[in-house]
Amino acid sequence: MKIGAMLGDIFGSLFKKPATEMYPFVRSDTPFRLRGQLKYDSEKCTGCQLCVKDCPADAIEIITIDKVAKKFVMRYKADRCIFCAQCVQSCRFDCIELSNDEWELASEKRQPFELLYGREEDIAALLERANQTEPVETVE
């Protein structure tokens, strides 16, 4: 490269906005269709298990607390999930979506990747039933 052209690039760059992003101090807007952490609405769930059967990564489990009262809890293993959105397609009741703003899922430990979704009292019933001693992060 000729020195003149190089100097032109150097001086031109001095007056351009930096391309560097200040993440994690400043988060950029994420695309609307980004596939982040799964969300589950237990109020609409019928317990049909279609999402579980169709998940290619064995990442979800629907646990029946009370079939007659339609009480279900989802156990979601985010570290197994490949974010394919098959479960979203399979659910006929719009219970599942992939959040476009919860995508910071890195962790040094495995425990935060296992999430229980559902009503608080149903999760409590599940934990009591399983006599689980290890703390599990829960999401309403």
The residues binding ligand SF4 (CB under 6 A) are 38, 45-51, 55, 57, 59-60, 62, 81-87, 90-91, 93, 95-96
Which DSSP letter does residue 36 get? -
R_g of the chain computed on alpha carbons: 22
Asked if residue 42 lies in contact with residue 119, where contact means CB atoms within 8 angstroms, the answer is yes
- To ligand SF4, the closest distance from the beta carbon of 49 in angstroms equals 5
CB atoms within 10 A of CB 54: 14
Q: Which is nearer to ligand SF4, 46 or 100 (CB)?
A: 46
- To ligand SF4, the closest distance from the beta carbon of 19 in angstroms equals 32
Amino acid, res. 127: L
- To ligand SF4, the closest distance from the beta carbon of 70 in angstroms equals 10
Q: Which is nearer to ligand SF4, 47 or 112 (CB)?
A: 47
Q: Which is nearer to ligand SF4, 6 or 93 (CB)?
A: 93
Q: Which is nearer to ligand SF4, 15 or 140 (CB)?
A: 140
- To ligand SF4, the closest distance from the beta carbon of 60 in angstroms equals 5
Q: Which is nearer to ligand SF4, 13 or 89 (CB)?
A: 89
Q: How far is CA 109 from CA 76, 79, 113, 136, in A?
A: 16, 11, 8, 12
Q: How far is CA 38 from CA 5, 76, 97, 113, in A?
A: 50, 8, 6, 11
Asked if residue 65 lies in contact with residue 71, where contact means CB atoms within 8 angstroms, the answer is yes
- To ligand SF4, the closest distance from the beta carbon of 6 in angstroms equals 48
